[in-house]
Amino acid sequence: MDVTAGDILGFLSLTWQQAIMLGIGCLLIYLGIGRKVEPVLLIPIGTGIILANIPLGDIAGQGGLFALLKEAGIDTELFPLLIFIGVGAMIDFGPFLEKPYTILLGAAAQFGIFGTFFLAYLLGDGWLGIMDFSMNDAASIGMIGSADGPTSIYVSVVLGSKFTAAIVVAAYSYMALVPIIQPPIMKWLTTENERKIRMPVTPGKVTRRTKILFPVAAILTVCLLAPKATPLIGCLMFGNLLRESGVVKQLSSAAQNEMANIVTILLGITVGGMMVADSILQLETILIFVIGIVAFAMDTAAGVIFGKIMCVISKGRINPLIGAAGISAFPMSARVVQKVGLEADPHNHLLMYAAGANTAGQIASVVAGGVMLMLVPIFG
Amino acid sequence: MLDALWIVLLGMAIIFAVLGVLLGIMTVLSRLPEEDKDKKAE
């Protein structure tokens, strides 16, 4: 037999690219455990990266565990949709239902998706051609701006982007960095006086009937107007209906806990398993991470600018800062708004309004995903 | 690039339109009277 030591011992076959990926995997695990940055996702993703890049391990190769999980859960779009049922069961849309106008802030903040799409397409096949970004890739990269992992995965898988793994990791990583990315932009775009605008804290008056009718109304409205968003909004609102109906507590609990946790483990480790050195260590992938920050910055800026417009229209009754919570990074961006508001005025509590805009942003990002899936095939 | 610009403009317009309709429905829903059970619970 003609067998060398390199065919048996993994470390002898280790390439420098694989070594870098092993380092990245360890870094993500460290960030998750040591720094508590999105540990629920970064630990499975980091572990997946390490396992997928072990030479001769074959876990990500054809027939391997990760290949099977990818085929069963990612390629079929199953995992992100199941996650959405869990997310829907976890979200209380009460703050949004109390202030329905905050949905406009959620809509405005989705500009980051489309602005980033335009930028990526400009760098790729659209004009400059310096990157290998097709229109489908650019649309998928733009979805980093949804600040919503499952939506990013769903859209990039449906559009068949070759950068799905990088897009997903960028989306989840930057969600954790919202407290760092958003405040400078919020302060730069608002005056001290605007940040000091107080919004009265009023006790909630949303009835149970309204909370139950909302998911049904959202499904009918959004799905009939933007049918491509049906799987996403359908699963999100189904989960929410389980929660708000109050008669299937065991199902709501299972969606929020057992199902969401199991799918998160499978999704995280599969996404990590997709990050194999050969396909990840490219200039395009590095650029996707840079563009991801631009996406979050544009989301924030668009939300705050629209907040300023609403401030003018309402004759100074709306604090523009709450526009920054229009991105769907829930609940981080609502907390950031509260913190920046308190810095300007220690008695200014914007959390309830920001939470409304934040949950509205969750719906808006799903709609944006559906709209992207509708428009790209038409123009692509 | 013109196609991409159309996607940006149409995309934002559709999002505002869809969510605007949802806003209208939510405004109506948020003004629904309380149920008897809700009142009793209070």
What's the ipTM?
A: 0.88
The per-residue pLDDT for A72 is 94
At residue A193, does pLDDT exceed 90?
yes
Mean pLDDT of A73-78: 91
The percent of residues above 70 in pLDDT, for chain A, comes to 98
CB-based contact (8 Å) between B38 and chain A?
yes
d(CA A230, CA B10): 19
Higher-pLDDT residue of A280, A64: A64
At B36, is the pLDDT very low, low, confident or very high (cuts 50, 70, 90)? low
At B34, is the pLDDT very low, low, confident or very high (cuts 50, 70, 90)? low
Tell me what the pLDDT averaged over chain B comes to. 83
- Closest CA relative to residue A182, chosen from A338, A344, A32: A338
The per-residue pLDDT for B40 is 56
Mean pLDDT of A193-216: 88
Q: Provide the domain count of chain A.
A: 1
Residue in B closest to A206 by C-alpha: B30
Token pair belonging to A62: 């054809």
- Total residue count of chain B as it appears in this document: 42
What is the pTM (predicted TM-score) of this model?
Answer: 0.89
Query: Do A225 and B17 lie within an 8 Å CB cutoff?
Result: yes
Mean pLDDT of A178-198: 93
The per-residue pLDDT for B35 is 62
The per-residue pLDDT for B5 is 94
Angle between helices A149-158 and A351-379 (to 10 degrees): 0
Neighboring chain A residues of B23 at a CB cutoff of 8 Å: 100-101, 103-104
Neighboring chain A residues of B40 at a CB cutoff of 8 Å: none
Query: Do A122 and B8 lie within an 8 Å CB cutoff?
Result: no
The per-residue pLDDT for A204 is 67
Query: Do A135 and B14 lie within an 8 Å CB cutoff?
Result: no
d(CA A242, CA A94): 15
Which whole-number Å values give the CA distances from A101 to A139, A156, B23, in the listed order?
A: 28, 30, 7
Which member of A110, A225, A368 has the closest CB to residue B21? A225
The per-residue pLDDT for B15 is 95
Give phi and psi for A233, each to the nearest 5: -70, -35
The per-residue pLDDT for A281 is 83
d(CA A358, CA A336): 11
- Closest CA relative to residue A105, chosen from A302, A352, A347: A302
At A328, is the pLDDT very low, low, confident or very high (cuts 50, 70, 90)? confident
Query: Do B22 and A363 lie within an 8 Å CB cutoff?
Result: yes
d(CA A227, CA A233): 10
CB-based contact (8 Å) between A103 and chain B?
yes
Task: List all residues 6 or more positions away from A34 whose beta carbon is below 8 Å from its beta carbon.
Answer: none
Neighboring chain B residues of A95 at a CB cutoff of 8 Å: none
Interfacial A residues in 125-184 facing B (CB < 8 Å): 126-127, 135, 138-139
The per-residue pLDDT for A331 is 83
At residue A22, does pLDDT exceed 70?
yes
At A179, is the pLDDT very low, low, confident or very high (cuts 50, 70, 90)? confident
Query: Do B30 and A210 lie within an 8 Å CB cutoff?
Result: yes
Task: List all residues 6 or more positions away from A24 whose beta carbon is below 8 Å from its beta carbon.
Answer: A46, A49, A275
Q: Determine contact, residues A94/A81, Cβ cutoff 8 Å.
A: no
Give phi and psi for A112, each to the nearest 5: -55, -35
d(CA A300, CA A337): 11
Query: Do B29 and A213 lie within an 8 Å CB cutoff?
Result: yes
**Where in the sequence is the domain holding A113, given as residue range(s)?**
5-379
Query: Do B4 and A98 lie within an 8 Å CB cutoff?
Result: no
The per-residue pLDDT for A184 is 95
Q: Which of A93-97, A175-179, A250-254, B25-29 has the highest mean pLDDT?
A: A250-254
Residue in B closest to A129 by C-alpha: B1
At residue A377, does pLDDT exceed 80?
yes
d(CA A283, CA A286): 5
CB-based contact (8 Å) between B13 and chain A?
no
Query: Do B26 and A126 lie within an 8 Å CB cutoff?
Result: no
The per-residue pLDDT for A20 is 93
CB-based contact (8 Å) between A230 and chain B?
no
Q: Determine contact, residues A299/A144, Cβ cutoff 8 Å.
A: no
Which whole-number Å values give the CA distances from A363 to A88, A134, A300, A349, B14, in the listed order?
A: 10, 27, 16, 24, 14
Interfacial A residues in 201-220 facing B (CB < 8 Å): 206-210, 213-214, 217-218
At residue B22, does pLDDT exceed 90?
yes
Mean pLDDT of A4-25: 84
Mean pLDDT of A206-212: 89
Task: List all residues 6 or more positions away from A226 whose beta carbon is below 8 Å from its beta carbon.
Answer: A367, A370, A371, A374, B14, B18
At A38, is the pLDDT very low, low, confident or very high (cuts 50, 70, 90)? confident
Which member of B1, B5, B19 has the closest CB to residue A107? B19
Query: Do B22 and A126 lie within an 8 Å CB cutoff?
Result: no
Angle between helices A230-245 and A208-225 (to 10 degrees): 170
Q: Determine contact, residues A45/A173, Cβ cutoff 8 Å.
A: no
Mean pLDDT of A253-279: 92
Query: Do B29 and A97 lie within an 8 Å CB cutoff?
Result: yes
The per-residue pLDDT for A211 is 92
Q: Is the C-alpha dihedral spanning A208, A209, A214, A215 positive or negative?
A: positive
Task: List all residues 6 or more positions away from A89 whose beta carbon is below 8 Å from its beta carbon.
Answer: A239, A240, A242, A243, A252, A255, A256, A260
The per-residue pLDDT for B42 is 52
CB-based contact (8 Å) between A106 and chain B?
yes
Point out the least confidently predicted range of A161-170, A200-209, A332-341, B20-29.
Answer: A200-209
d(CA A307, CA A324): 8
Q: Determine contact, residues A102/A356, Cβ cutoff 8 Å.
A: yes
Which member of B8, B12, B35 has the closest CB to residue A207? B35
